[in-house]
Amino acid sequence: MGLIIAANWKMHKTTADTEEFCRAILQDVEKFAGVEVLICPPYTSLPAATNILGGSSLKLGAQDLHWEQEGAFTGEIAGPMLTDLGVEYVIIGHSERRHVIGEDDSRIRAKVKAALECGLKPILCVGETEAQREAGSTNSVIRQQLLSALEGMAAGDMDELVIAYEPVWAIGTGKAAQPGDADAACSFIREVLAKYAGEEMADKVRIQYGGSVKEKNIDSFVELSSIQGALVGGASLEAESFSALIQAARKAV
Ligand code: PEP
């Protein structure tokens, strides 16, 4: 299974910043062969990114979507609006949405369903807080988040699914998980998926690690057989550092 590395820009970059980044990263695209690379800019930058990256091997993701396909939901963005812009992936249940915006498991489940209905591939984020890890509940939190989000999902849809294991305490803190802990959590995720949909389907799901991934530490995650890529925040904001990170990942597998 090839690596999938996604840039999550969060609430950063204007249209001009996006254009500059996309033009720069395109210069290095041949150095990414074999790695699926996606850029997830804010909604407002999607048209600029699609104009520049369209036709290249770099793909586009969105950072969220609404659970309905259209309707009276002021300020929200629906899946068909994203596919219309050439978006292929969508991040769902990022910890900032769970813990800062207050999104709950039922909303996340509805968003996974909405994404699949309009042909978007979900990147479903799961992960424990520091207090949950200290209380020894990492696995039970992950199991609950996964089973709740996937409830009702057909096993046949699993090959479109990407799971990002992102321990909340590692996101944006500079304190990445120990590779051994990430390995244990990602192996556990695959066990839960296998119980849910069977081993054959579970083996098709790519699992990313996310949380303070940089050029210097990406190798220690992607060399693990339980991990097939990374969801990257801070280190994805500059084309140069993101490109270096992708190249380091490629060398490590
Ligand atoms: C993220 O945004 O999902 C993330 C992992 O951020 P960072 O790489 O900055 O920790």
- Please compute Rg for the chain using Cα positions: 17
Q: How far apart are CA 222 and CA 179, in angstroms?
A: 9
Give the residue numbers annotated as catalytic, written as ranges: 94, 166
- In this structure, the residue with its CA closest to atom 5 of ligand 1 is 211
The yes-or-no verdict on residue 152 having pLDDT over 90 is: no
Q: Whose alpha carbon is nearest atom 1 of ligand 1?
A: 233
pLDDT of 158 over the 90 cut: no
Give me 14's structure tokens.
Answer: 């204007």
The predicted pLDDT at position 1 comes to 84
Question: In angstroms, rounded to a whole number, what is the distance separating the alpha carbons of residues 202 and 225?
Answer: 14
Percent of the chain with pLDDT over 90: 96
Give dist(CA 169, CA 49) in Å, integer: 30
State which ligand 1 atom lies nearest to the alpha carbon of 212.
10
Q: Please, what is the average pLDDT of the chain? A: 97
What residue ranges line ligand 1, CB within 6 angstroms?
8, 10, 166, 171-172, 210-213, 231-235
Q: Using pLDDT thresholds of 50, 70 and 90, give the confidence band for residue 125.
A: very high
Please state, in angstroms and rounded to a whole number, the distance separating the CA atoms of residues 127 and 98. Answer: 10
Place of tokens 């944006």: 172
The answer to whether residue 161 scores a pLDDT higher than 90 is: yes
pLDDT at 160 over 90: no
Contact 233, 210 (CB under 8 A): yes
Is 101 exposed, middle or buried, given 0-12, 13-18 or 19+ CB atoms closer than 10 A?
A: exposed
Tell which residue, 161, 243, 172, has the closest CA to residue 12.
172
> How far apart (Å, rounded) are the C-alpha atoms in residues 31 and 244?
10
Alpha-carbon distance of 99 to 85, in angstroms, equals 28
- Mean of pLDDT values over 3-28: 98
What's phi and psi for 206, nearest 5 deg?
-90, 135
Residue to substitute in 4, 8, 162 for testing ligand 1 pocket (most ligand atoms within 8 angstroms of CB): 8
239-252 helix and 15-26 helix, angle to the nearest 10 degrees: 40
Q: Domain residues of the chain, as ranges?
A: 3-252
Q: What CATH fold (topology level) applies to the domain 3-252? A: TIM Barrel (3.20.20)
Q: What distance in angstroms lies between residue 227's CA and the mean position of ligand 1's atoms?
A: 16
Q: Is the pLDDT of residue 201 over 90?
A: yes
**pTM score, two decimals?**
0.97
Q: What sections of 135-238 are H helices per DSSP? A: 138-150, 179-197, 199-202, 218-222
Predicted local confidence at residue 94, as pLDDT? 98
Grade residue 16 by pLDDT with cuts at 50, 70 and 90: very high
* Cα(201)–Cα(157) distance, integer angstroms: 9
Q: What is the mean pLDDT of the segment spanning 59-73?
A: 98
pLDDT at 157: 86
Q: What is the pLDDT of residues 106-123, one digit of tens each?
A: 999 999 999 999 999 999
Q: Taking residues 8-18, what's their average pLDDT?
A: 98
